Structure 1
């Protein structure tokens, strides 16, 4: 039974200059660099990851998407700094190996990190993975416990106490995502004015805890052990990580969390199998989170609604590119439907029809 997430051939248009890469990495990795072979990992609409192999050793190379113009959205040096800070205080992050800002190598900043071999769960559980409902429950509780562990990292010990701007984080996030919606709205999209106003009117006070937050913590950004699939062994994709309010981070994750009791239209839109039998409900998750962190979760509807609205904006931003002809990728045409689905769930939360 092979549960390992495998890399494949490099996708057309996303190839790396292997000769330049080998030459550059020889002083970093030694003579083994001359034998490096490259494959590419599947998935993702943002930063790209490649598997480098040579002499029985493996590394992962991470770079921005081709054609990216917005440096702040794909800041490799920032990711590298966060992983470097976390490597001694959070055991689930890849270990950073080397950062390169010489664009003569592959045309952009990139960094190398350790390769973590294991199982990645995407929209469906792998057919070869056989877990009973109690095992599913434990696996997914373990997934959330790792998030709580990240939020418990001592900022000073990690050297991240001056990283990010935790004060006013909730307000900046609400205002920022509302602004992004306005900038990406198209004439055919859903109306979200009422949701934006509700988020402004119902912002809770900042929590008493500033933490390292991942900001895109979901199942396909986590690696489980292939030998023991209940155990998390790695957390990936740190491009949006910062220091901020951990309850906002939980809300971002719960925006992805579709459960069995949800309306059918929402369940049909799920991107990960969180509605499988045995999976904990959102209410159970936030109660466990409260037990682990000691934080009040009284404003759970706000955080859940924010998580949904944020995904609504992300989907609209992707659709905006398609609508205006910036991409011809037909996959992006369907993102407007996601915006309607997510906005409808926001409405149900605001009205009290969906309470957990």
Structure 2
């Protein structure tokens, strides 16, 4: 079933403009997101063809089957509660039956986990993005040799530098583990190449150094330390950084680069907005998604706030949420029986 099928078969119960336009944060470049609710015909609902959600390829148009819609409302999902609380000037289609659903029937203390919890996860993501922007990783991947060092007197020398300065190659080296140590090896060298040492690594993709069988009487010429922990951390950071590069939204990334604040300013604007909505829920026991601080939020989106200032505002909002949550008269959870009864009545 497609979005057009929903319209052709007159299955829509609700449709509204969502996102920035419903929040009162739209600018001339803002996209128009559409969200809605539909019901399935009996043959699909009772049969084996239950379809909980229908979206377009970019997910900026999404419709939820009414059962799925109520299930997510009962879980206090922020996006779904915001659809239910759509301002009147954003509602395009509304079957009178939808008036049976009221946001206050679903608001509960669970919103602290869903609204604030999601916002906090976005702050953590922003910190990770901040780290990636400020610490780019070269495309050419380092090998484990870059994490090996030769001990000299009371200091250490990078292995590659030591090999170069001493006219040696890693392929002729033989390593022997040193008992009761981690990452420490005695290094032997096979100048003639007839002792079959395995070298320090067997290829550039190796994830650990090689050890060799060394004949008795051979003389150790150096001690090598391999920092495997640092290499593992580097591999993880490298993988995550280049995955982010391949998936990032270039337009938004360039905006963030242009304002020079080194964080995703649009994402952080919506994070602050989400925290303010959460504060309002516990302060007033209601949800009004149209913001009253448009200029402040758009200032954040424009990158006019430092990263530290945005984080400080978020932390203050979280403290306020904790306070109002502790004195809120809202129930711990939505009344599942009452709201399920409304769903049955609508079906």
Q: TM-score, normalised by structure 2?
A: 0.22
Give the structure, 1 or 2, with the largest relative contact order (CA under 8 Å, sep 6 or more).
2
Q: TM-score, normalised by structure 1?
A: 0.21
Q: Say which structure is richer in helix.
A: 2
